[in-house]
């Protein structure tokens, strides 16, 4: 009985965008809250900064991801259009090209010719897209999906420091944001590593490390410049 195998590469597009967005949302917004709080601002300033950081960051992530993935989609489209033209003008050369690809992968010339003939008869452009260009449906560039995933993930990551900025006492806000963010970063990094097939501890450690660096640097900036301004 045939069964469908699930592979991690099927989720690589949205997984990459989601993990990047959530990490960025949590690290950047937490760092912003810690940095502003370290400057001892007027009441409400930390909350405004966190909210502005969430909105600006989510839109920035969406725009950047859309532009980046759109460029990839344009390249894929141009390659497919070129293959479509070549199939229309020189089909025999394209069939021979497929045969050579299959021979290079280990098939005999005779079997490679049969495979190339059958795949060309069924879906010539699909065969060239998959076997010559390395394009498939599971890894195809999807700009809108990537942009929405990035924006949503950023907002989810930024929600924790935003909520703490709204309800936590200012006197211990930096410590609360720092501790909770590190825990969540470790969980997020470990989860991403597990989904991607990498060691869980290594994924958690590298994300938490850069979170510590970011929050420590912004806290130092807030402390130095906040004191000088006052």
Can you tell me the distance from the alpha carbon of 143 to that of 74, in angstroms, rounded to the nearest whole number? 10
Can you tell me the distance from the alpha carbon of 61 to that of 157, in angstroms, rounded to the nearest whole number? 12
Q: Which of 39-43, 187-191, 198-202, 223-227 has the lowest mean pLDDT?
A: 223-227
How many Cα atoms within 13 Å fall on the side-chain side of residue 1? 1
Cβ 219 vs Cβ 38: under 8 Å: yes
**pLDDT tens for residues 141-193?**
778 888 888 899 999 999 999 999 999 998 889 899 999 999 988 888 887 77
Q: What percent of the chain has pLDDT over 90?
A: 24
pTM for the model stands at 0.70
Higher pLDDT, 202 or 48: 48
Mean pLDDT within 125-154: 81
The residue among 43, 31, 11 whose CA lies nearest residue 168 is: 43
Give residue 25's pLDDT: 92
How many Cα atoms within 13 Å fall on the side-chain side of residue 65? 30
Q: Which of 12-21, 82-91, 151-160, 194-203 has the lowest mean pLDDT?
A: 12-21
pLDDT band at 6 (very low <50, low <70, confident <90, very high): very low
**pLDDT tens for residues 30-59?**
999 998 988 878 778 899 999 999 999 999
Q: Is the pLDDT of residue 227 over 60?
A: no
Q: Is the pLDDT of residue 3 over 60?
A: no
Q: Is the pLDDT of residue 11 over 60?
A: no
Mean pLDDT of all residues belonging to the chain: 83
Handedness of CA 217, 171, 43, 224 (dihedral sign): negative
Q: Is the pLDDT of residue 207 over 90?
A: no
Give residue 54's pLDDT: 94
For 128, residues 6+ apart whose C-beta sits below 8 A from its C-beta are 83, 87, 94, 97, 98
CB atoms within 10 A of CB 148: 17
pLDDT band at 17 (very low <50, low <70, confident <90, very high): low
What is the DSSP annotation of 103-127?
HHTT--HHHHHHHHHHHHHHHHHHH
Can you tell me the distance from the alpha carbon of 229 to that of 45, in angstroms, rounded to the nearest whole number? 15
Can you tell me the distance from the alpha carbon of 61 to that of 72, in angstroms, rounded to the nearest whole number? 16
Cβ 21 vs Cβ 149: under 8 Å: yes
Q: In the structure encoding, which two tokens stand for residue 218, read together? A: 């912004």
For 153, residues 6+ apart whose C-beta sits below 8 A from its C-beta are 17, 18, 19, 20, 21, 22, 25, 61
């Amino acid at each position: 009985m045939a069964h469908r195998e699930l592979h991690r590469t099927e989720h690589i597009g949205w997984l990459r965008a989601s993990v990047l967005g959530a990490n960025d949302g949590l690290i950047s917004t937490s760092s912003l809250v810690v940095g502003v709080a370290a400057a001892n601002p007027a009441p409400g300033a930390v909350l405004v900064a966190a909210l502005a950081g969430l909105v600006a960051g989510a839109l920035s992530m969406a725009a950047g991801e859309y532009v980046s993935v759109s460029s990839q989609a344009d390249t894929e489209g141009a390659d497919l259009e070129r293959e479509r033209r070549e199939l229309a003008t020189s089909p025999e050369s394209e069939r021979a090209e497929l045969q050579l690809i299959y021979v290079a992968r280990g098939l005999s010339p005779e079997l490679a010719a049969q495979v190339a003939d059958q795949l060309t008869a069924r879906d010539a452009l699909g065969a060239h897209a998959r076997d010559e260009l390395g394009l498939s449906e599971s890894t195809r560039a999807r700009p809108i999906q990537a942009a929405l995933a990035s924006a949503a993930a950023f907002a989810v990551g930024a929600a924790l420091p935003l909520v703490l900025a709204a309800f936590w006492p200012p006197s211990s806000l930096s410590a609360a944001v720092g501790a909770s963010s590190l825990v969540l970063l470790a969980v997020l990094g470990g989860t991403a590593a597990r989904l991607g097939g990498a060691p869980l501890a290594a994924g958690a450690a590298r994300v938490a490390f850069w979170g510590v660096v970011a929050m420590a640097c912004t806290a130092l900036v807030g402390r130095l410049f906040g004191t000088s301004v006052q």
